[in-house]
């Protein structure tokens, strides 16, 4: 067994791997960029090594720096986690050449299964059913032969990037060109394949485990059909769709797929399954690494997959056979991501978020597990993947697991950074999800009913109570009664204290507070209970709101102001990549003015109305925080701000 293992990753998966290494008595080494110097995985490892500045290409993707860190710390093996270099055959080969054990499959197996075209050919030759399709250079001809609808996919990568569903073949050439651009930008390779599209398919995958002595077993399936933008957000095990016979057949096919490439370690074989005929399953691809959703398999099998990755890499044999594997109970996982819904874009405007974790509560309890890389004070930026944590629930049956997970998400608090916890909680309560009637398009069809675009009045009421409390003087010693914010009046009823607040993306609201009474925009009194707060953030049942002060006088004088109707704010933390206007320019409603990019996602900032650009606070290359004012467009006829001098520009 290894004495020291370097974990070549960050965030929750690095913390997860370190936990198992500690249980095995193995010394762990973390690596980190400058941005992660105080991250949780750095704190929990036995040793940590800086490997470069924040851009992943100069730190977590630098093979040279990771190998140098391994040599300097005496590591004997490297665990790649998932993402970054986990499925990079060149990295696996470099580890082997440096005398390090790569805790994963061989470089050859990674290269073979990483090429979707070769992978399909290989497993097909082994008798595994594959989705009908074609490849470059006869891509268009194959698509027309299959007939609409078809799915275009990049050969070199996954995660939903570069995938295009084509239902109208008259636009096929345009869709192929767009898919190539996305594939080239994401993977550096624009090779495509095309597959027949199955309407309302289910995405079911089989976990396999293989040693270096020819033993291969499967650990049952995971249902991963709840997806958005082709990316998984909820996973569960086992699937309600499969009976024992189909489970056994798919498991045997997954084992053959693993054998066909000489697989070693933990891997996942993914299948596309028609909901109306589960027996017609077809191979999609193989992920040659630990999956994000591996905890649900661990909970129903009782096996620690990271432990068996390490043991297999150290040369141990699997001590169990297929007959020894039993599946008990049910587990469901939710991926907690830093993202928000832009109501300005409608309910479908999911965007990456960021900020500092001001207050953190991660759920615990009977049947609840949280895999997380967070601590209070963690800075969540757009530099890395937005997934922050995973909340997993286990129960003796599916209903219990779902109920426990909904309750756990309601108790999840990450004040300072908006997440999708509330959205996931509502999704898990959707009638189709509760009934197990899943498919990969369900989330997109139901999304409008799952997103709360209006702020509950209780949030504004709580914000008013919080602001009223902040007016109270310090309680040290004697306090002048007239200094207390009671609005007491001689011979009359106490007066109302008026607060003006707003949540970004929503109209300002007037909140009146008098004692224990709270009125929101003149509506009847609503109850407000403040259980935890962090600055201007409030949370309830998994949802969170950033409630800011609003100055109606300033807004009326400027016609815009911070957060006003003419203000253009950053919908997500990121970098301004394009600025198309200057101060004094006249613009029309809907005209594109700026572009903000985060996590390879571009968001166009358009003029909310016709008018004049009176403020422009950013330039190309400026890093911005979410809700930061970028520019102001005043109504037509407003006077633009005075030109900015070179000295003033330099100070900015």
Which CATH number is 70's domain given? 3.40.50.20
Tokens of 201: 């398919």
> Torsions phi, psi of 98, nearest 5?
-85, 5
Question: Residue 176 is part of which domain span?
Answer: 133-196
**121, part of any domain:** no
Same domain, 301 and 391: no
Which CATH number is 470's domain given? 3.30.700
- Of 451, 467, 500, the one marking the end of a domain is 451
Same domain, 367 and 441: yes
Same domain, 436 and 461: no
Which CATH number is 636's domain given? 2.40.50.100
Same domain, 333 and 444: yes
**349, part of any domain:** yes
**pLDDT, position 278:** 94
**pLDDT, position 131:** 86
Calculate ∠ Cα 153-110-79, nearest 5°.
Answer: 120
CA dist., res. 130 & res. 494, Å (int): 75
**pLDDT, position 348:** 42
Same domain, 27 and 67: yes
**115, part of any domain:** no
**pLDDT band (50, 70, 90) for residue 523:** confident
Whose tokens are 């358009």? That residue is 606
Residue 228: enclosing H or E segment and its boundaries?
Answer: strand 216-228
Same domain, 15 and 47: yes
* pLDDT tens-digit map of 415-461: 999 999 999 999 999 999 999 999 999 999 999 889 887 899 888 99
Same domain, 208 and 323: yes
CA dist., res. 533 & res. 547, Å (int): 11
**110, part of any domain:** no
Kindly state the percentage of the chain with pLDDT values over 90: 64
Same domain, 333 and 438: yes
Tally the domains of the chain: 6
CA dist., res. 25 & res. 291, Å (int): 24
Length of the chain: 652
pTM above 0.75, yes or no: yes
Which CATH number is 164's domain given? 3.30.1490.20
Tokens of 195: 């597959």
Same domain, 138 and 178: yes
What is the chain's percent helix, strand, coil content, to nearest 5?
A: 30, 30, 40
**606, part of any domain:** yes
Which CATH number is 355's domain given? 3.30.470.20
pLDDT, mean of residues 102-130: 95
Residue 644 has pLDDT above 60, yes or no: no
Query: If you average pLDDT over each of 149-158, 289-298, 341-350, which comes out highest?
Result: 289-298
- Of 287, 302, 328, the one marking the end of a domain is 328
Tokens of 73: 């710390």
**337, part of any domain:** yes
* pLDDT tens-digit map of 274-308: 998 999 999 999 999 999 999 999 999 999 999 99
Same domain, 508 and 607: no
Tokens of 170: 């008259």
Q: How would you write 254-275 as a 3-class SS string?
A: HHHHHHHCCCCEEEEEEEEEEC
**350, part of any domain:** yes
- Of 261, 295, 328, the one marking the end of a domain is 328
Residue 564 has pLDDT above 70, yes or no: no
CA dist., res. 5 & res. 24, Å (int): 11
CA dist., res. 631 & res. 605, Å (int): 10
**pLDDT, position 230:** 83
Whose tokens are 């973390």? That residue is 30
Same domain, 536 and 605: no
CA dist., res. 119 & res. 255, Å (int): 14
CA distances from 498 to 108, 252, 485, 521, 522 (A): 68, 68, 12, 10, 11
**pLDDT, position 406:** 98
**233, part of any domain:** yes
Task: Using the CB atoms, write b or e for 499-535: b if 16+ within 10 Å.
Answer: bbbbbbbbebbbbbbbeeebbbeeeeebebeeeebbe
DSSP state of 56: G
Residue from 334, 356, 293 nearest 542 by CA: 334
Residue 636 has pLDDT above 70, yes or no: no
Asked if residue 192 lies in contact with residue 134, where contact means CB atoms within 8 angstroms, the answer is no
Same domain, 160 and 256: no
């Amino acid at each position: 067994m290894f004495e020291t293992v370097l974990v070549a990753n960050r965030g929750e998966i690095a913390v997860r791997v370190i936990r198992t290494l500690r249980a095995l008595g193995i010394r762990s080494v973390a690596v980190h960029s400058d941005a992660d110097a105080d991250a949780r995985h750095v704190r929990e490892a036995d040793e940590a090594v800086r490997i470069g500045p924040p851009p992943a290409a100069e730190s977590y993707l630098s093979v040279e720096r990771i190998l140098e860190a391994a040599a300097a710390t005496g590591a004997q093996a490297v665990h790649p986690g998932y993402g970054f270099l986990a499925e990079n055959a060149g990295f696996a080969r470099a580890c082997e050449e440096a005398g390090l054990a790569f805790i994963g499959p061989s470089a050859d197996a990674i290269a073979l299964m990483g090429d979707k075209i070769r992978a399909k050919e290989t497993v097909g030759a082994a008798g595994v059913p594959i989705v009908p399709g074609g490849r470059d250079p006869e891509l268009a001809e194959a698509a027309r032969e299959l007939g609409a609808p078809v799915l275009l996919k990049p050969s070199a990568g996954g995660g939903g990037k570069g995938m295009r569903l084509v239902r109208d073949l008259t636009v096929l050439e345009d869709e192929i060109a767009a898919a190539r651009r996305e594939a080239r930008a994401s993977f550096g390779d624009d090779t495509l394949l095309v597959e027949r599209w199955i309407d309302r398919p289910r995405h079911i995958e089989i976990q396999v485990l293989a040693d270096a002595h020819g033993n291969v077993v499967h650990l049952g399936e995971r249902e991963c059909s709840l997806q958005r933008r082709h990316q998984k957000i909820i996973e569960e095990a086992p699937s309600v769709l499969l009976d024992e016979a189909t489970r056994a057949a798919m498991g045997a096919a997954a084992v053959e797929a693993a054998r066909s490439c000489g697989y070693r370690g933990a891997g996942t074989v993914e299948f596309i399954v028609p909901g109306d005929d589960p027996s017609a399953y077809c191979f999609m691809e193989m992920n040659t690494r630990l999956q994000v959703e591996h905890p649900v398999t661990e909970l129903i099998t009782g096996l620690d997959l990271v432990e068996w990755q390490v043991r297999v890499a150290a040369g141990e044999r699997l001590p169990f056979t297929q007959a020894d594997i039993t599946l008990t109970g049910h587990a469901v996982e939710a991926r907690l991501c830093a993202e928000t819904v832009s109501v300005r874009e409608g309910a479908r405007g999911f965007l990456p978020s960021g900020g500092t974790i001001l207050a953190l509560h991660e759920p615990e309890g009977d049947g609840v597990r949280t895999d997380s890389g967070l601590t209070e004070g963690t800075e969540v930026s757009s530099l890395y993947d937005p997934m922050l944590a995973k909340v997993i629930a286990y129960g003796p049956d599916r209903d219990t697991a779902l109920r426990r997970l909904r309750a756990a998400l309601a108790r999840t608090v990450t004040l300072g950074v908006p997440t999708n916890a509330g959205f996931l909680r509502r999704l898990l309560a959707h009638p189709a999800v509760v009934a197990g009637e899943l498919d990969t398009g369900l989330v997109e069809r139901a999304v409008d009913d799952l997103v709360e675009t209006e702020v509950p009045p209780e949030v504004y009421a709580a914000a008013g109570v919080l602001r009223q409390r902040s007016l109270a003087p310090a309680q040290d010693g004697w306090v002048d009664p007239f200094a207390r914010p009671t609005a007491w009046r001689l011979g009359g009823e106490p007066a109302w204290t008026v607060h003006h607040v707003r949540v970004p993306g929503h109209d300002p609201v007037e909140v009146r507070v008098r004692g224990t009474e709270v009125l929101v925009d003149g509506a009847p009194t609503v109850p407000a209970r403040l259980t935890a707060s962090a600055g201007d953030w409030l949370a309830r049942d998994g949802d969170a709101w950033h409630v800011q002060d609003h100055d109606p006088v300033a807004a009326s004088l400027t016609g815009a102001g911070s957060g006003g109707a003419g203000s253009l704010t950053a919908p997500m933390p990121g970098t301004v990549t394009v600025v198309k206007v200057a101060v004094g320019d006249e613009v029309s409603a809907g005209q594109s003015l700026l572009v903000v990019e985060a996590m390879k996602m571009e968001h166009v900032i358009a003029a909310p109305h016709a008018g004049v650009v009176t403020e422009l606070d950013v330039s190309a290359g400026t890093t911005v925080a979410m809700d930061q004012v970028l520019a102001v467009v005043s109504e037509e006829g407003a006077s633009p701000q005075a030109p900015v001098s070179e000295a003033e520009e330099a100070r900015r």
